[in-house]
Amino acid sequence: MKYSICLAVCGFSLSAATVYNTAAPFTGTRSIGLSGGLAQGGGTGFNNLTLSWSIVELPDSTYDYTYTIAGVSTPLLSHFLLELSPVCLTPGQDCVTNPEVNGSPASTTLGYFCYGSAGCQGKSNVGLPSGFDGVKFESMPASPGPVIITFNSAHVPVWGDFYLKGGQQYVYNLGNLNHLDSNTQDFVARPDTYSGAPQTPEPATLGLVGAALVSLGMFKRSRRRL
C-alpha cells in the first residue's frame, strides 16, 4: 500500500511539472492530433504529416541535429521555423552551423518570428499562435517527398517549439499554446542556450520530487507509530 501511495504522490507531482526548456531526448516523432502533439490549420493537405528528429553528440561536444518531415505532398513546404534561445540571435553563438535541406546548403534567417503583430520577421507565418526567437529554413524542395533538415550546434537539446507552412496550410506543436504544458508530447527537441552538457532539472522540478520524497518519509513514520 505504501508503494502505491508513493507512486500516486510522485506521479501527480511529476506530471504537473513544466517541461518546456528542460532536457529533451535525442530521438522522437510527432504527428497530427492531440495524441501526436501537433496541430494543423488552413486545409487538410498535412493530415498525415509527421516530424521526427535524431540528434548525435560528436567527439568535439557539438551536436548534429536532423529533422525529417514526411507525409507532405500538396502543398509543398515553403519554410520551417525552429525555436532557439534569444542568445542564439547574437553572432558567434554556434547555435546553427552548416545548415542543409535534403543534402544541399540551406538558406536560413535568424530572428523573432510571429504573425500579425509588430516586430515579426516577415508576415508569412499564418496561424502561428505565439511568436518565438528562432531560425527560418528556406530552400525547400520543389517536389513532393520527405524533407530532411540538418545542422550542427554547440547547444544541447531541450523541449521547445516549431512551425512549418506550405501554401496557406500550417503545422505547429501544441505546446506553443501554453509553455506551462506538462506533456512532453506537445513539444519538440531544439537547441538550448547552454553548450557542453545537458542541463540539470529546473529548481521547480527538483522541488516537486523532493516534496514527494518528504511525503513518503512522513507516511513511513506514521506507519511505525501504528
Q: How much is the pLDDT for 206? A: 40
**36 lies in the same domain as 72:** yes
Which 8-state DSSP code applies to residue 199?
A: P
pLDDT tens-digit profile of 88-144? 988 888 999 999 999 999 999 999 998 876 666 656 899 999 999 999 998 898 888
Same domain assignment for residues 121 and 60: yes
pLDDT of residue 184: 97
> Which residue type is seen at 57?
E
Q: Please report which helix (H) or strand (E) contains residue 65, including its range.
A: strand 63-70
The residue range of the domain holding 219 is: 1-18+202-226
Is the same domain home to 166 and 64?
Answer: yes
- Note the pLDDT tens digit of each residue in 147-156: 999 999 999 9
Which stretch of DSSP H or E encloses residue 55? Answer: strand 50-57
CB atoms within 10 A of CB 134: 29
